[in-house]
Amino acid sequence: MRILLTLVLVTLCVGITYASNIDYLTNRSVSYFRNFARNPATDGADLVSYNPAGLVFLDEGFHISFGNQFLLKDYTIEAVPFWDTTSVETYESTEPTLFLPDLYAVYRTGDWAVFGAFTVPAGGGSLDYTEGLYAFSLLETGYQQMINMSPYYFAIMSEGNIKASSQYLAGTVGASFAASDMFSFALAGRYTSAKKTYDGQADFTVFAPDSTGTPVPVGTSSRTLDVEKTASGFNGIISVDVVPTENLNIALRYETSTALEFETSVIENGWYPPVPMPDSSFAIEGFKQRRDLPAILAGGISYQFSPAFKLSTTFNYYFVEDIAEDSLNGVDVHYENGLDIGLGIDYQVSPCILLGLSYLHSDLGGSDSTYNDFEYNLNYSAIGGGIRYAVNDNFALTLAGGHNFYDEGQGVEPFDACTYNKSVTYFGLGAEVSFR
């Protein structure tokens, strides 16, 4: 009885996000949509996020880059309910993300470049399940079994909804230095402030067996959930860039993990256990729980085959296992380390027009053991592309977009009846301004 309630309530501690890997976002500029292989790039102020050491290759002067991304998300849960295994219940969120900004500033002089950035390194907006979640019926069933001290009680949601948001805002500052024509490096620090909210409501019909053992309605219930979680943390970044030949560039970047201890503020939690139970502290006002952003090793290689054509490769390796330490951590212990690998091309059509096209595959390290109604980080492949138009030597616009193709996922008990799917299409508009 208590086990079911505990298992489902624990999932409230995870994140509901569009993410590249365990909350982490790699789409920190519109130029990333144009070419996913930004790690070995040497152009643009957004190198602050991808190749800080490469900022020494920018023209001398002040460079500013800013943009906004739009995400069209379709998240779907199909559940075979325990009360009727011949039917399928569908729960869907189509809430878009309309504001995902980025801002970069770089000043380069001589062998030095100093930089700063405001980005959204993790999270990804909101999800709005207007018909609630299958997990709500599981929650209420566990609750009714506990308060009635009987495993034969169960509850079916008649109507419900939940809206959840996850937003991480970060500021980055650092400096790059060219030690020689071949070698440069950069050091930076990033401060991240995170906030997650859960706002939901559900009505239920409660069933129990009559004298013949047949389940019959014995009452109704209504629950409201209004929870906020906040955290902040700091991490360090080191980046190196090597130019072995005129046309070959190799870049490597390491980001330390960001320690984030989320503190819970409970405005209302209708499922709060009425009696003490093991591991119920996550429902208490002021409860603190770690959900760190993992350390990352990233890099890539680019080669300029001709003045018009450049080919780039990229990878991101996420040390997820290091932050998934125990069952009460915000990251499931069943997660494995994650990996992104990608390939991109740049084609200079004219002095004013640069085209990009790229492919990325992301293995997030999740499995059926990590999927639940509140978090299903599915592996995906992505295609992106776009155009950069230089209005003049000091001003350029970028329009780019892409689509993620996700694998289907299925959970394990108590979510073994659930099948999870996602579809995300995105585009963005960015601008670059230089003062040379």
Q: What is the pLDDT of residues 42-81, one digit of tens each?
A: 999 999 999 999 999 999 999 999 999 999 999 999 999 9
Residue in the structure block whose two tokens are 């409201």: 224
Q: What is the pLDDT of residues 278-329, one digit of tens each?
A: 444 555 788 888 889 999 999 999 999 999 999 999 999 999 888 866 444 5
DSSP code string of 362-392: EE-S--TTT-BTTB----EEEEEEEEEEEEE
Enter the pTM of the model.
0.92
CATH architecture, domain defined by 14-125+164-201+227-435? Beta Barrel (2.40)
Instruction: Tell me the C-alpha distance between 47 and 248, whole Å.
Output: 17
Ranges of each domain in the chain:
14-125+164-201+227-435
Beta strands in 25-122 (DSSP E): 61-79, 89-93, 97-109, 112-119
Per-residue DSSP letter, 294: P
Residue type, 291: R
Residue type, 302: S
pLDDT for res 8: 54
pLDDT for res 17: 52
Flag residues of the chain having pLDDT under 50: 1-3, 7, 275-280, 326-328
pLDDT for res 277: 46
Across the chain, mean pLDDT equals: 90
Instruction: Tell me the C-alpha distance between 79 and 76, whole Å.
Output: 10
pLDDT for res 278: 41
pLDDT for res 58: 96
List Cβ neighbours of 330 (8 Å cut-off, separation of 6 or more). 13, 14, 15, 262, 289, 290, 291
51 HSE (CA, 13 A, CB side): 29
